[in-house]
């Protein structure tokens, strides 16, 4: 899935890592897909993947017009880490892979696991803010899409 004429080398690659790959990293990947489309390659993974994406995270993202229900928690792979230009860690601690020469960013965020949607909304909104900043750092201007960030 790419723009006509675009190659992998034309697009930055971001990998979001957390423990279960069911909440924070799935929401972050959803925001990147929503705001950057095919201009950024995005993946997510976990050190101990859950069986399914957190339903509260799915509901919170649906409120802003982003569907992450089709996501599948997966274990990060060495190839995926090596392919990433930026690796964003979100609470996986020492379990997150570290490769020399890679750009790492650690986002300390509350874990949405077991929280009601009302408590996930601020986490979702903070992830959006950070994703927008990361995209700008990568030279990708976020697109304003209808439904995003309106909380409805």
Choose, from 14, 66, 92, 123, the residue flagged as catalytic.
Answer: 92
Burial of 37 (0-12, 13-18, 19+ CB in 10 A): middle
Question: Would you call 18 a catalytic residue per the annotation?
Answer: yes
Cβ(46)–Cβ(21) below 8 Å = yes
Question: Would you call 92 a catalytic residue per the annotation?
Answer: yes
Question: Would you call 96 a catalytic residue per the annotation?
Answer: yes
Choose, from 18, 32, 60, 88, the residue flagged as catalytic.
Answer: 18
- Known catalytic residues? 18, 92, 96
């Amino acid at each position: 899935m790419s723009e006509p004429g675009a190659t992998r080398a034309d697009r930055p690659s971001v990998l979001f890592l957390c423990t279960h790959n069911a909440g924070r990293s799935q929401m972050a990947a959803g925001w990147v897909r929503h705001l950057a489309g095919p201009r950024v390659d995005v993946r997510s993974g976990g050190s101990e993947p859950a069986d399914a994406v957190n339903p509260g995270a799915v509901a919170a993202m649906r409120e802003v017009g982003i569907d992450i229900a089709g996501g599948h928690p997966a274990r990060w792979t060495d190839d995926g880490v090596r392919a990433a230009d930026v690796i964003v860690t979100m609470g996986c601690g020492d379990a997150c892979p570290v490769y020399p020469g890679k750009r790492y960013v650690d986002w300390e965020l509350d874990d949405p696991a077991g929280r009601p949607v009302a408590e996930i909304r601020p986490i979702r909104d903070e992830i959006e803010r950070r994703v927008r900043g990361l995209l700008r750092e990568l030279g990708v201007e976020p697109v304003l899409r209808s439904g995003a960030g309106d909380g409805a």
